[in-house]
């Protein structure tokens, strides 16, 4: 046999063996080809930017799963009320939800500590750092599995900017203007404003503007300029107060029925987790773009009077939080959570504030006169 024949034979044997090996490698994929489908409902109306951000998460899961796992997404109210997704996921009426912990804080006030708790000096990005690396996720797992014993597994995403004090028919010039005001907020912020003398109504986003039109409320906050503008806040009020200590940090809670979650193979569980981490950055970057554009539209097109919340309101909120912190701390678990947060803040925020450059000075150098506060 010639060398050329030997070469052809060897090559043919190699290709045959490679094909056989490839088939052997591919065979396990067949067992993973069956699709698991999860039904997820958001807490958001169709037009809300938060609904779009929920869809961003679903898109990442579905594309990364390659057909082996799929989330079908439904807007708020499709199966359960937007404030009832916690019960829906726990009870199995829906498999998953895109929401915020503050919407179920009535079941345990510790829920608000994982999104809209006292202001210790950390922003939402630093708060997500605490959740991921400072003990927060372990404490939340303890709350779910040991204290509340609910059938829910959750991930967190999207460090939200400070939520504005909100929308008012007249500007808020001091903390005295809040006394007796009928005001919409949610969670521990409701307790905070009640201490400050306001009369609080807790309403989902879609019910806020109609309540303002009917005079049920005199002022409200929701979350950000884009959400506010999309549901028509500028049509019922023209004074928008930016900055507040009532909800200085918040994140989305992406929750799953724990029984359904535990039944998934390890790689699908990993996709659900890592998609939350990926979309956290994507949502934040989208918010930077959307929120800043819509704030300019509110100012220039809708002729909204945008002002910075007065210092007296911030000072009054800090004092009100002090009283609430003392009350919340009577619960051992809530004290443990707040102590964990404060330890993180003392170390991390000290570093960040000590190290951060003078961003304001640089901004005012290049854009003199733009900042009015």
Give the residue from 162, 163, 215 showing the smallest Cα distance to 185.
163
Residues 6+ apart with CB under 8 A from 319: none
The angle subtended at Cα 133 by Cα 254 and Cα 96, nearest 5°, is 10
In our burial notation (b when 16+ CB lie closer than 10 A, e otherwise), range 105-133 reads: beebbbbbbbbbbbbbebbbebbbbbbee
Which residues are documented as binding site for substrate?
163, 184, 221, 247
Mutual angle of helices 332-355 and 311-328, in 10-degree steps: 140
Instruction: Say if residues 167 and 251 touch (Cβ distance below 8 Å).
Output: no
Which residues are documented as binding site for Na(+)?
222
Structure tokens at 79: 């199966």
Instruction: Say if residues 223 and 213 touch (Cβ distance below 8 Å).
Output: no
Q: How far is CA 170 from CA 166, 227, 239, 301, in A?
A: 11, 21, 6, 20
Residue tagged 């535990």 (tokens):
262
Q: What is the largest CA-CA distance in the chain?
A: 102
The conformational region for residue 197 under phi > 0 = left, psi -120 to 50 = alpha, else beta, is left
Residue 182 parent element (H or E): strand 182-184
The angle subtended at Cα 339 by Cα 334 and Cα 345, nearest 5°, is 125
Instruction: Say if residues 221 and 185 touch (Cβ distance below 8 Å).
Output: yes
Which residues are documented as binding site?
163, 184, 221-222, 247
């Amino acid at each position: 046999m010639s060398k050329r024949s030997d070469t052809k034979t060897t090559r043919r044997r190699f290709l045959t063996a490679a094909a056989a090996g490839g088939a052997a490698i591919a065979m396990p994929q067949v067992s993973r080809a069956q699709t698991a489908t999860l039904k997820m409902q958001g807490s958001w109306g169709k037009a809300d930017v938060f609904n779009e951000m929920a869809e961003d998460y679903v898109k990442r899961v579905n594309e990364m799963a390659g057909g082996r796992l799929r989330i079908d997404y439904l807007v708020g109210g499709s199966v359960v009320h937007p404030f009832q997704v916690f019960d829906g996921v726990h009870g199995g009426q829906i498999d998953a939800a895109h929401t915020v912990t503050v919407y179920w804080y009535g079941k345990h006030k510790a829920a608000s500590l994982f999104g809209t708790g006292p202001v210790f000096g950390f922003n939402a990005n630093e708060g997500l750092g605490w959740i991921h690396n400072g003990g927060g996720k372990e404490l939340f797992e303890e709350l779910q599995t040991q204290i509340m014993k609910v059938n829910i597994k959750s991930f967190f995403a999207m460090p939200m900017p400070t939520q504005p004090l909100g929308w008012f028919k007249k500007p808020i010039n001091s903390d005295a203007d809040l006394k007796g005001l009928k005001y919409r907020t949610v969670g521990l912020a409701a307790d905070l404003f009640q201490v400050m003398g306001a009369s609080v109504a807790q309403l989902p986003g879609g019910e806020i503007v109609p309540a303002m039109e009917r005079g049920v409320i005199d002022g409200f906050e929701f979350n950000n300029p884009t959400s506010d503008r999309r549901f028509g806040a500028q049509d019922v009020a023209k004074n928008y107060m930016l900055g507040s200590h009532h909800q200085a940090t918040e994140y989305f809670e992406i929750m799953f029925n724990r029984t359904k979650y535990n039944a998934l193979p390890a790689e699908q569980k990993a996709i659900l987790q890592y998609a939350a981490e990926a979309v956290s950055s994507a949502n934040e970057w989208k918010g930077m773009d959307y929120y800043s554009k819509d704030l300019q539209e509110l100012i220039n097109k809708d002729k909204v009077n945008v002002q910075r919340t007065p210092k007296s309101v911030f000072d009054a909120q800090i004092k009100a939080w002090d009283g609430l912190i003392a009350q919340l701390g009577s619960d051992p678990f809530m004290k443990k959570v707040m102590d964990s947060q404060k330890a993180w803040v003392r170390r991390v925020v000290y570093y960040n504030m000590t190290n951060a450059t003078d961003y304001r000075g640089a901004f005012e150098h290049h854009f003199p006169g733009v900042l009015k506060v």
